[in-house]
Amino acid sequence: MAQAAKLCRPGVIAAYPITPQTHIVENLSQFIADGELDAKSVNVESEHSAASCVLGSQAAGVRSFTCSSSQGLILMSEVLFCIAGMRLPVMLVCANRALSAPINIWNDQQDSIAVRDAGWIQLYAENNQEAVDLIIASHKIAEDPKVMLPAMVCVDGFILTHGMEVVDIPEQKDVDEFLPPYNPPYKLDPKNPMSFGLLGTPDVYLETRYAIQKTLGDVLKMIPTVGKEYQDKFGRDSLRLIEEYKTDDAETILIAMGSVCGTIKDVVDSQRKQGKKVGLLKIVSYRPFPKQAIKKALDSAKNIGVIDKDISLGSDGALYSEVKSVISSDKKISGFIAGLGGRDIKAKTVEEIINLSEKEENSCRFIDLNKNILWEEFKTI
């Protein structure tokens, strides 16, 4: 991932150490120290300042990169809204990790889901190859003068960040051809003074939100186009709204984001061998949310099971709620909360989710609960 970030030639990098993100910024620092990357690295004193620093550097006209996880992303959250509101195409890699308390360094997706409303493009990688591709490809969309919105590439902490996989790292020459130097339509420049971050009264604020919403709608159309361009150049279709895996005739379709999709594909393959019509719908672009593509992909499905590695406590999983809002009411849809705080989602877990999806509807079923450690009054549930 550091290699992918480096290929995009960021001029300013600011990040604060947090597990499991840290080695991305460590590697970038080493590239700079070794003269392999012409960039300035700012060792900020917090994630809040990391995000603020890249906000400033991007506004001054330089491509800027940051990365974080969990508490760090949440500490940044105030600035994340601001970066999008100021229409600055900052790039952020989020190594997805659970949120405190209790403190937990392992993977789930609660952190990025918690900032889903900030106005950022949010893409989820299934494996390290996709992480590399999405980092490079999303720059092109974010920096398009018609877009000018920040992008967050979400990679499951440890599972991907500390996983060893053989990946194809594109050639610098090819990336340079795909991604031209950052040339923003506006920047901080004494030759042409502009004010950034003005007070937006009730007379103008609503329109700023409408504009972001409208742009994210356009991004929905751009992702397949730029994805195709990326595929033509690098041979992989990693940048796409969704991936439909054996969904054409599937009666039961699971929906998920990130690395768990790899496990689900294995289960789908083995169940297909037994003649079960199951499939996977992988969401790559969570923001913007591809409602139409999802609806179309679920055409044949009778049973839908949505796996959330997050929960809107007091309600349901975030992905479940959003999928439910776009599908027709004749389909059975269930929501499953799994893998929180790094609990393994094994093939057996996925099989259980498939079985449950075919039974009665559930909106928010916790999978793999260890009832032995629950408080007494919850054990009956």
Give residues in contact with other proteins (CB under 8 A). Answer: 11-12, 14, 38-40, 42-46, 48-49, 52-62, 64, 78-79, 82, 86, 188-190, 192-201, 204
Q: How far is the CB of 203 from other proteins (least distance, A)?
A: 8
Closer to other proteins by Cβ: residue 48 or 236: 48
Rg over alpha carbons for the chain, rounded to the nearest Å, is: 21
Joined together, the tokens standing for residue 143 give: 């920096």
| 3-class DSSP assignment, residue 168 | coil
Q: In what order do the strands lie in the sheet with 365-366?
A: 242-245, 278-283, 252-256, 303-308, 332-337, 365-366
Closer to other proteins by Cβ: residue 55 or 155: 55
Residues with Cβ < 8 Å from 112, sequence gap 6 or more?
73, 94, 96, 122, 152, 154
Q: Note whether 334 and 367 are within 8 A (CB).
A: no
Joined together, the tokens standing for residue 122 give: 């949010």
Q: How far is the CB of 80 from other proteins (least distance, A)?
A: 11
Closer to other proteins by Cβ: residue 55 or 239: 55
Q: How far is the CB of 15 from other proteins (least distance, A)?
A: 12
Q: How far is the CB of 41 from other proteins (least distance, A)?
A: 9
Q: Is the peptide bond before 290 cis (omega within 30 degrees of 0)?
A: no
Q: How far is the CB of 185 from other proteins (least distance, A)?
A: 15
Q: How far apart are CA 205 and CA 212, in angstroms?
A: 11
Q: How far apart are CA 213 and CA 355, in angstroms?
A: 38
CA 173 to mean position of chain CA atoms: 27
Closer to other proteins by Cβ: residue 2 or 50: 50
Q: How far is the CB of 62 from other proteins (least distance, A)?
A: 4
| 3-class DSSP assignment, residue 105 | coil
Closer to other proteins by Cβ: residue 48 or 246: 48
